[in-house]
Chains A and B, each alone.
Chain A
């Protein structure tokens, strides 16, 4: 049996442990034959009496790095029958189910509750708003809402006398062109993978299920980054 005691162990004296600290990682030298494959020879840890060569406990502790580091040097262990002791139906859990993907948090909960409020910030406006995406069923309606949310705030920012956030905004400058991307502003969003995306490419319900927050940015910012190429990969085609 691989790695087992099926051979007679005449001398039960534990074999030598020969640790050679090498920069950041431990390498373990084997000084004996075994049935284990080549790579594995680096990994076999066996305890020996202290004081052998330069090895000592204090040295070991000083030079010891995290187990992960040592583990990184390991190749896959040779399979031993019945080890580790897990039932066969537990063996392929990680591979048979889809691996957990922490970034992919669909906004199922929020979109199914009464309101699905996401933050929305606008460039030039220090105070953000929240918008209930469940209240709309199309991009058109969202853009209208964005306009209503920020028109007054934007005007207040530009108005040196300060003050009016609420109240009649009909005479303030409308925030238009979000829909067609040809206005002064564009609407982008951050999706469940952390990427910044231009609003409007995917069907509405798909957008709602992946959006995390919204931003109203200057359209010029998009063309600038396009030129620089830094956000190229984030702009969906």
Chain B
């Protein structure tokens, strides 16, 4: 390779995907060196896989850092409080080492107000802060960001848990701040000062994304929209108000002026009478999130049948099979469908949404790639039909609400149906299983799901053989999360080297023994085998007792030391045990 460094650097600047850059760095020593100096964006999928110091040592000129903390099952309260995922060590080092840092994106991490203040004061050119499903901070921290980040472009708090002390934080944006392009405060509950919000929007000519919180009243939405007709993504606040013709007329007119709007969300507390106000933007919509809107099928249908360009729809199961049928006829460009349960803890079906709705969409929407579907009944024949209709599926997450529910027509397990999914959908990257499943389904998955990267399993399988099929067969597997399955030691110990090729494995309420965890840890020094046991007293437990929860991940940073007392990393070197 006789190219001068500058040329290679220039070529590398076109290579943006993380995997590609990683591959580039492995070509030879000089490429490794050049690449590491010009890498600008870092993605760390597990914040414990590498230490901040290591990252900084290798990549000194980074502008954007993305980190993920807790395991995915933390979303469903399976990961106890105090588990970890602290941003603190990262911000301490980055504040010192990356003065030109522009972007920080965090998912499922614990971030404090001090951390936020440190961000706001350490990086002169800070532009983008995304806190996805994070926790540990309050609106005081947001005030610091607002006040000190002169060139802030994006502040996105999606689904984070924020200690909402007051809405005053928004008023901390100085009058000189005109750079805002994206603001997502939908997870906050406090009312922000409306005049401050209005002025902020009015002086942000590049504002493209605005997601309001529930507390912003509908009567005032038109005022905001009128100041931001260039919006591309809008999340409303609560979507109901006293029935007043003037409010309605203003709203309708304001929406009709928003010629660029492609995505809508929000819609808490919907009063159907106000829905027609959005009709003028429907024909341009590519994304619609009605998953908080408790409106019934006819109202939902009325909207979606006016959205021929819809690519992504999130909706409650109030849409029912009839609405999904209408969707399949109207929205031929649909790529992603997510149907959430309106009343997940009730055994009886409160709505008429069955497997038929999903079948209809799989028939009518030829571009459908990604499905998240909560329902109360499923059959092998429906799954097989879906699989044959849509071999282009890349993400299929099915949640039948009752654990271990069989095929409702034949009472058989749903092995064959899910088997059809993995067999036909050869590009499947993500799969979530539910219903009654035996080891057979895992045999199919191990055999067919060669591109599968993430698999979620609950209340399924008969024996270790099931887990073994997955670990030995799924070549692309990166993340595996399992709960309440009869998988034990044998499968794990037979596939130890597989675990180092994966990002992480979560197992809770399974049949893995403490002894097996210790042995696994001893065999695999580059894995952290963490046992979580809230009953305490791990030291006095016999080796044959089952662990409550187990989290195994590959790492070059060694065991971590920020764990609470009920989490223990299994010893890697028993000779040094005190």
List chain A positions with a Cβ less than 8 A from chain B: 1, 3-6, 8-9, 12, 14, 17, 43, 45-47, 57, 60-61, 64, 67-68, 71-72, 74-77, 79-91, 93-94, 97-100, 102, 105-109, 111-112, 209
- 24 pairs across A/B with beta carbons < 8 Å? A6-B484, A6-B509, A6-B548, A12-B463, A14-B462, A43-B347, A45-B406, A46-B404, A47-B412, A64-B409, A72-B348, A74-B348, A75-B347, A76-B345, A83-B403, A86-B76, A93-B292, A93-B342, A97-B268, A100-B294, A106-B272, A111-B245, A112-B249, A209-B243
In the complex, B75 has a CB within 8 A of chain A:
yes
Given contacts A5-B485, A112-B248, contact A82 B76 (CB under 8 A): yes
A98 touching B77, Cβ below 8 Å: no
User: In whole angstroms, how far apart are the Cα atoms of A72 and B347 in the complex?
Assistant: 8
Asked if A94 and B342 make an inter-chain contact with CB atoms under 8 angstroms apart, the answer reads yes
What CA separation (Å) do A173 and B276 show in the bound complex? 43
Min Cβ gap A78→B in Å is 10
Alpha-carbon gap, A77 to B276, bound state (A): 39
Which B residues are CB-close (under 8 A) to A100?
272, 294-296, 299, 318
Residues of A within 8 A of B399 (CB): 84-85
What residues of chain A lie closer than 8 Å to B486, measured between beta carbons? 5, 9, 12
Smallest CB separation, A85 vs chain B (Å): 5
Known pairs A45-B411, A77-B402, A82-B78; A102 contacts B298 (CB<8 A) = yes
Taking A5-B485, A12-B463, A77-B347 as given, write out 18 further A-B residue pairs in contact, using a Cβ cutoff of 8 Å, ordered by the A residue number: A1-B484, A4-B484, A14-B462, A17-B411, A67-B377, A74-B347, A76-B346, A82-B483, A84-B341, A85-B75, A85-B76, A85-B458, A87-B75, A90-B340, A94-B343, A100-B299, A108-B248, A112-B249
B294 in complex: contacting residue of A9, A45, A98, CB < 8 Å: A98
Q: A98 and B269: CB pair below 8 A?
A: yes
B contact residues, range = 35 or more
* Chain B residues within an 8 Å CB radius of A102: 296, 298
**Which residue in chain A gives the minimum CB-CB distance to B410?**
A57
**Which residues of B are in contact with A by a Cβ distance under 8 Å?**
73, 75-78, 159, 187, 243, 245, 248-249, 252, 268-274, 276, 291-292, 294-296, 298-299, 316, 318, 340-350, 374, 376-377, 399, 401-406, 408-413, 432, 436, 456, 458-459, 462-463, 483-486, 509-511, 546, 548
A71 to B408, CA, bound (A): 11
Q: How far is the CA of A87 from the CA of B316 in the complex (A)?
A: 14
Expressed in whole angstroms, the Cα–Cα distance for A64 and B510 within the complex equals: 34
Known contacts A47-B413, A93-B292, A98-B294, A76 near B347 by CB under 8 Å: yes
Q: Are B436 and A47 in contact (CB under 8 A)?
A: yes
In the bound complex, residues from chain A placing their C-beta under 8 Å from that of B298 are 102
Q: Chain A nearest CB: distance from B482 CB in Å?
A: 10
Task: Find the A residue at minimum CB distance from B76.
Answer: A82
> Is B249 within 8 A of A84, CB to CB?
no
In contact, A67 and B376 (Cβ under 8 angstroms):
yes
Min CB distance A211 to B, Å, is 13
> What's the minimum C-beta distance from A16 to chain B, rounded to whole angstroms?
13
Given contacts A5-B511, A105-B272, A109-B276, contact A84 B344 (CB under 8 A): yes
Q: Is the CB of B349 within 8 A of A97?
A: no
- Are B509 and A1 in contact, CB atoms less than 8 angstroms apart? yes
CA distance A108 to B249 in the complex (A): 10
The answer, among B159, B274, B346, B412, for a CB contact under 8 Å with A87, is: B159
Q: In the complex, how many angstroms separate the beta carbon of A125 from the nearest chain B beta carbon? A: 32
Q: Which residue of A lies closest to B74 (CB)?
A: A82
| Cross-chain contact of A61 among B187, B245, B340, B410 (Cβ < 8 A) | B410
Residues of A within 8 A of B485 (CB): 5
A8 and B511: CB pair below 8 A? yes
Contacting pair B77 A82 (CB below 8 A) = yes
Tell me whether A47 and B406 are in contact in the complex, defined as CB-CB below 8 angstroms, given that A100-B318, A108-B273, A109-B273 are known contacts: yes
Q: With A61-B410, A97-B268 as known contacts, state yes or no: A79 contacts B345, CB within 8 Å.
A: yes
| Chain A positions within 8 Å of B187 at CB level | 89
Cβ contact within 8 Å between B316 and A93: yes
Minimum distance in angstroms from B62 CB to a CB of chain A: 31
Q: Which residues of B contact A6 (CB under 8 A)?
A: 484, 509, 546, 548
Q: B76 contacts which chain A residues (CB < 8 A)?
A: 81-83, 85-87
The answer to whether A112 and B245 touch (CB under 8 A), given A47-B412, A67-B377, A97-B268, is: yes
